[in-house]
Amino acid sequence: MTLLQLHLMAVGFWLGAVATETALEFSARDAASRRAVALAHAKIDQWVEIPIVIAMVATGALLLARVWPGTPLLWVKVGAGLLAVTANVVCIPLVRARVAEPDEARQRALTRQIKGTLWGVPFAVAALVIGLGF
């Protein structure tokens, strides 16, 4: 398997993890389901998403080193990808804080902040389109 294939596989798994977490976050309707979602999201982050993000960033950095300094379009793709990853990294401590938070009102506020990190999705899509299309 090539480095590019590994990178694309990591990107695909990451997008799948983000899609799964998004579906979970929007499925909670009551206190019990919100708690279950919080715990599931934290486990997905810990065992799936964080390792995938590390693999994705590492393989992306290695690929970038191979074509240094790169074209302007490549830098747009890298920037978009890094913004998407940044949104994801911002989300991780919010997810952990929500699991540890006993107050339901504060849990709901953290859930809104977690959903707010979805601003990274358009950047992920842009990076993917540039990467696959150009």
pLDDT in tens, 53-108: 999 999 999 999 999 999 999 999 999 999 999 999 999 999 999 999 999 999 99
> Does the pLDDT at position 128 exceed 80?
yes
* pLDDT category of residue 41 using cuts at 50, 70 and 90: very high
Helix or strand or coil: residue 130? helix
Q: What percent of the chain has pLDDT over 90?
A: 95
Dist CA 94 CA 89 (whole Å)? 9
Q: What's the mean pLDDT in 11-34?
A: 93
Q: What's the mean pLDDT in 113-134?
A: 93
Q: What is residue 61's predicted lDDT score, i.e. its pLDDT?
A: 96
N-to-C CA span, the chain: 22
Q: What is the pTM of this model?
A: 0.89
The domain of 21 spans: 3-133
Helix or strand or coil: residue 24? helix
The answer to whether 113 and 94 have CB atoms below 8 angstroms apart is: yes
Q: What's the mean pLDDT in 46-52?
A: 96
Number of domains in the chain: 1
The gap from C-alpha 8 to its chain's centroid, in whole angstroms, comes to 14
Q: What percent of the chain has pLDDT over 70?
A: 100
Q: Return the exposure string of 44-55: e unless at least 16 CB atoms fall within 10 Å of the residue's CB, then b.
A: bbeebbeebbeb
